[in-house]
């Protein structure tokens, strides 16, 4: 029951709906188990008070068998559907009644064998071992107590253990399910923290982290890093003319085209709005960047077609390179952004290096 239970019960933070459900199930389950344990204690105390010491020991032994079955489920991670547990639960009652009606015990034993085989086929060998343990222990219990206990007394001895085993497993299954949902939710939040929800590419947070790692990796080499600041030309007109739904589709398609053009060691991120950033590694000369730029502009030649509309998107790109244009990501983004605006002023659908314009660019 690991991380979730301990964390939830000892923490002071606000609970999510899933955490509230997990805590509620935990409280209800423990209340149920506690009530059954108290009942079992009364049963054993009653046996002892009526000088049925042997029966009390058999009760205790049967309880240990029931716990063994449950722990086997836990250790082996056996998958046993809760419907199967209901079948098992009522099967034990049914077989117990068969024994006490003085019918052939083979009928009850054959029923258990059938239940064992069905479980093996439907749920696998690990789950069938659980059935085997409970079946043998139940037959063992009935055989030892049949001559000394009435049917109601036997059921009083059997039902609490079967109830605990049933609800232990049900709780375990729901607990695992909710923990998995919480884990999935945590992963979704982590994904959203580092990925853009619209384009599914890394966001600014991921960009900053990647740049720091890339900068450290570059320190041991003679290569450089380049930051390509990309802006869609006249994107506002796309939103105004075709609507934001089409605008979002354009952003997704542009992101996909850009992603296909970058090299394996490079990173593409959405900086915000209609702006994208590429961090290019292992740059030795300007021609390395120009090759990437050529692929990008070639990819954008094809118009974006939607039903009867055909939209051609062009890009303006500014480039800043370490170390001459800066060694911090903020400086590089700022200088690449300035170079990008110079590209726009130069007629759009082109690129500009900050190194070429920095003498004429205000600090």
Q: Residue 42 above 50 pLDDT?
A: yes
Please state which of the four CATH numbers 3.40.47.40, 3.30.70.270, 3.40.50.720, 3.30.420.40 is assigned to the domain occupying 204-360. Answer: 3.30.70.270
Q: How confident is the model at residue 99 (pLDDT cuts 50, 70, 90)?
A: low
% pLDDT > 70, the chain: 55
Comparing CA positions, the residue from 70, 32, 274, 298 lying closest to residue 160 is 32
Q: Taking a C-beta distance cutoff of 8 angstroms, is the pair 293, 300 a contact? A: no
Q: Which residue has the tokens 């009867």?
A: 308
- The helix or strand, by DSSP H or E, that contains position 280, with its residue range, turns out to be strand 275-283
Residue 274 has a pLDDT of 93
| Structural domain boundaries in the chain | 2-192, 204-360
Residue 178 has a pLDDT of 65
For the segment 135-184, what is each residue's pLDDT rounded down to a tens digit?
777 776 666 666 666 666 665 556 555 555 555 555 656 666 666 776 77
DSSP secondary structure of 17-70: HHHHHHHHHHHHHHHHHHHHHHHHHHHHHHHHHTT-HHHHHHHHHHHHHHHHHH
Token pair in block for residue 262:
């970058």
Q: Give the mean model confidence (pLDDT) for residues 18-40.
A: 63
Q: Give the mean model confidence (pLDDT) for residues 232-242.
A: 92
Least confident of 100-114, 240-254, 277-291, 345-359: 100-114
Neighbours of 222 (CB within 10 A): 7
For the segment 171-180, what is each residue's pLDDT rounded down to a tens digit?
656 666 666 7
Q: How confident is the model at residue 229 (pLDDT cuts 50, 70, 90)?
A: very high
Q: How confident is the model at residue 185 (pLDDT cuts 50, 70, 90)?
A: confident
């Amino acid at each position: 029951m690991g991380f979730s239970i301990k964390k939830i019960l000892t923490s002071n933070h606000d609970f999510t709906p899933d955490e509230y459900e997990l805590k509620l199930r935990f409280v209800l389950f423990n209340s149920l188990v506690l009530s059954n344990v108290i009942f079992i204690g009364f049963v054993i105390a009653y046996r002892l008070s009526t000088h049925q010491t042997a029966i009390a020991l058999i009760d205790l032994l049967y309880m240990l068998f029931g716990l063994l079955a449950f722990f086997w489920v836990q250790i082996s991670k056996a998958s046993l559907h809760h419907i199967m547990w209901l079948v098992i639960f009522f099967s034990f009652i049914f077989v117990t009644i068969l024994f006490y009606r003085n019918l052939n015990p083979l009928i009850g034993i054959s029923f258990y064998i059938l239940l064992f085989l069905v479980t093996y086929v439907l749920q696998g060998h690990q789950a069938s071992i659980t059935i085997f343990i409970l079946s043998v222990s139940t037959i063992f219990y009935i055989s030892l107590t049949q001559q000394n206990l009435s049917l109601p007394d036997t059921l009083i001895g059997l039902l609490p253990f079967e109830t605990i085993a049933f609800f232990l497993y049900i709780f375990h299954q729901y607990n695992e399910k909710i923990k998995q949902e919480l884990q999935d939710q945590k992963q979704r939040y982590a994904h959203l923290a580092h990925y853009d929800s619209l384009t599914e590419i890394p966001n600014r947070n991921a960009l900053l982290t990647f740049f720091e790692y890339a900068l450290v990796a570059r320190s041991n080499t003679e290569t450089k890093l380049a930051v390509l600041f990309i802006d869609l030309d006249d994107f506002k007109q796309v939103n105004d003319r075709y609507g934001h739904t089409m605008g979002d589709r354009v952003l997704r398609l542009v992101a996909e085209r850009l992603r296909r053009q970058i090299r394996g060691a490079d990173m593409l991120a959405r900086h915000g709005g209609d702006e994208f950033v590429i961090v290019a590694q292992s740059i030795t000369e300007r021609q390395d960047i120009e090759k990437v730029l050529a692929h990008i502009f070639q990819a954008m030649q094809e118009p974006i077609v939607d039903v009867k509309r055909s939209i051609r998107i062009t890009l303006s790109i500014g480039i800043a390179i370490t170390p001459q244009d800066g060694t911090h990501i903020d400086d590089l983004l700022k200088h690449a952004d300035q170079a990008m605006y110079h590209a726009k002023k130069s007629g759009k659908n082109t690129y500009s290096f900050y190194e070429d314009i920095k003498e004429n660019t205000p600090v």
